[in-house]
Amino acid sequence: MGKSRDKEDGWTELNQEGITQFKSILSAIEKFHSFTLRSDRTIGSPWDFKKDLLKAKECRIYVRQTEDKHVFQIYAEIIEGDTVRRENWIHVDGIQEARDIFEKEDVGTHLYEITCLSDLYRDYVL
């Protein structure tokens, strides 16, 4: 997935700050997931790659918005020397969805203080 192809296919690469913020979001989801499901020992779990991504020194993260503005496709690469591991998944931006609902109902909320994937897609791209 080269940069020239990214824009044509609707993929946007997160910049370094976007990657840092994305890892923060992913870490919070992973902590909740492991606490509620207690599945940190599941072999071959889809979370194995995501946990490795959180620890990766070098990675690339691409985001593509779907027809539903709260649903994103994620394509991530972990770069380890000459090896590149790749994975993709769907991310539902529940924070932005809740913001939109509260905005329609004209209700104040602290959700705007929480960084969400929609913020990254808008503000932290190459």
Instruction: Check whether 4 has a pLDDT greater than 60.
Output: no
Report the number of secondary-structure helices (H) and strands (E) in the chain.
5, 4
pLDDT in tens, 6-60: 556 889 999 999 999 999 999 999 888 777 666 556 667 778 899 999 999 999 9
Three-state DSSP state, 16 = helix
Domain tally, the chain: 1
Closest CA to 14 of 5, 26, 22: 22
Give the model's pLDDT for residue 112.
Answer: 82
Taking residue 73's Cβ as centre, other Cβ atoms within 10 Å add up to 15
- Report pTM: 0.83
Angle ∠(24,25,27) on CA atoms, nearest 5? 65
Domain extent at residue 52: 3-123
pLDDT in tens, 65-122: 999 999 999 999 999 999 999 999 999 999 999 999 988 888 877 888 889 999 999 9
